[in-house]
A and B are shown apart, each in its own frame.
Chain A
Amino acid sequence: MRRPYYPKMKATWWLQRRPYTLFMLRELSAVFVAGYALLLLVLGIKVYKGGDTLAAYLDFLDTPGMLALHAIIFIFAVLHTVTWFNSFAKAVPIWRGEERLAPWKVTLPNYVALLVLSALVALLFLV
């Protein structure tokens, strides 16, 4: 008579192998990216209102805690960007006859676009 054993996944499955941990960090990165969008949105509102309210918010952003948070957000934003760009070629295969374009050729334009757009934003706000 059959009596199969049904294993259960542990809640800590994502800590058991590095690729799973990286996957969870990638998923978590979305929270930090969304959090930064929120910070920017609030900044936009403060800029619109101007005056003391803007100065107070800028002082708040200048605290050590917020600077540390920005450093963490930056690391997660890089992880988010790199994993997204590297996944892109898998989802969008480009064919030339019988040959599939090498994944790096599909990925590279994303990085170029990122650099160009980042430079444009930097020009707009920093120069």
Chain B
Amino acid sequence: MTGETIALEVTRYRPGEDEEPTWQQYEVPFHRDWVVLDALNYVKDQVDGTLSFRWSCRMGVCGSCGMMINGVPKLSCAAFLRDYTPGPIKVEPLANFPVERDLVIVLDDFMAKLQAVQPWLIREEERPLDEGAYRQTPAQLARYKQFSMCINCMLCYAACPVYGNEKEFVGPAALALAHRYNLDSRDQGRDRRAWVVASDEGIWDCTFVGECSAVCPKDVDPAGAIQQLKLSSAVSWYKSFLLPFGGGPEKAS
């Protein structure tokens, strides 16, 4: 394969210079074991040092290098050039987010939403330290483990047309994370999260397109999490009407 090249068509947006994003084409060496991120780093190092993009671990763990590759949200460290031959490969910033520069998106909205669902263990009363850790069985761990694998790469937001159309939507990753803590046997914060999770901008905004789960590189299944939240929220609502003393929220068993 020596001497072969493949074309990258990369979105450029230079604030202050460009009114809107434009395309720039780069020819990069084609190697079977190169991923799109390797090609972008080649451009950055050898061709055009002004190209901006985020990356860190190069192994699908940090969640920094999410981009639209041929129109589909992907981790660029996991998108092999060989899967896009003969090219050109279109590389754009993640959809549905404001663009800071080139392939770098603005994270502020996602960070705020992540925080809004209070993704930590909430206890009505903390146990004194000398009583030891909150213990959990493997079966209790299994209930939420899938939803705890999120790496905050935001591919799910880029795949979600609801978020694209309504920026108020809390979104897939944040809701899946809320579900992860609601399902945790050590947590008692479901009611506190419900103000965000079960609001109009929360689970009920989701129309179950399902692409958030399809593009998730960690098989977190945010779409499944949201439908499960809808079910448990609806059950709680009916219980509060039908049962004496309100029934109370559904606690994960």
Contacts and interface: CB of A to CB of B under 8 A. Distances in A.
Interface of A: 1-7, 9, 13-14, 16-17, 19-20, 23, 27, 87, 90-93, 95, 97-100
A98 B164 CA distance: 37
Interface of B: 13, 15-16, 18, 20-21, 71-72, 95-100, 106, 138-139, 142-143, 161, 164-165, 207-211, 213-214, 221, 223-224, 227-228, 230-231
9 contacts: A1-B15, A1-B16, A5-B13, A7-B97, A9-B96, A20-B211, A23-B207, A92-B231, A95-B139
Given A4-B15, A9-B164, A91 B230 contact: yes
A91 B233 CA distance: 12
**10 closest A-B pairs by CB:** A91-B227, A3-B15, A90-B224, A4-B98, A5-B99, A98-B142, A9-B164, A23-B209, A98-B139, A6-B98
Nearest to B98: A4
A93 B231 CA distance: 11
Given A5-B98, A19-B214, A95 B209 contact: no
B221 A90 contact: yes
Nearest to B183: A93
Given A1-B16, A17-B72, A95-B143, 15 more contacts: A1-B15, A3-B15, A3-B16, A4-B15, A5-B98, A9-B96, A13-B164, A16-B71, A19-B211, A23-B207, A23-B209, A23-B211, A87-B208, A90-B223, A98-B138
Nearest to B231: A91
B32 to A, nearest CB: 27
A25 B227 CA distance: 20
B99 A100 contact: no
Contacts of B211: 19-20, 23
Nearest to A6: B98
A92 B106 CA distance: 35
A89 B143 CA distance: 15
Main secondary structure of the interface of B (DSSP, over half): mixed
Given A4-B98, A90-B221, A91-B224, A13 B15 contact: no
Contacts of B139: 95, 97-98
A91 B96 contact: no
A16 B161 CA distance: 11
A75 to B, nearest CB: 21
Nearest to A20: B161
A26 to B, nearest CB: 9
Given A3-B15, A5-B15, A14 B161 contact: yes
Nearest to B230: A91
A23 B162 CA distance: 12
Contacts of A87: 208, 210, 227
A2 B208 CA distance: 35
Contacts of A17: 71-72
B24 to A, nearest CB: 15
With most chain B CB atoms within 10 A of its CB, the pick from A2, A5, A16 is A5
Contacts of B138: 98
A3 B20 CA distance: 11
Contacts of A16: 71
B165 A9 contact: yes
A22 to B, nearest CB: 9
Contacts of A23: 207, 209-211
B228 A93 contact: yes
A9 B138 CA distance: 44
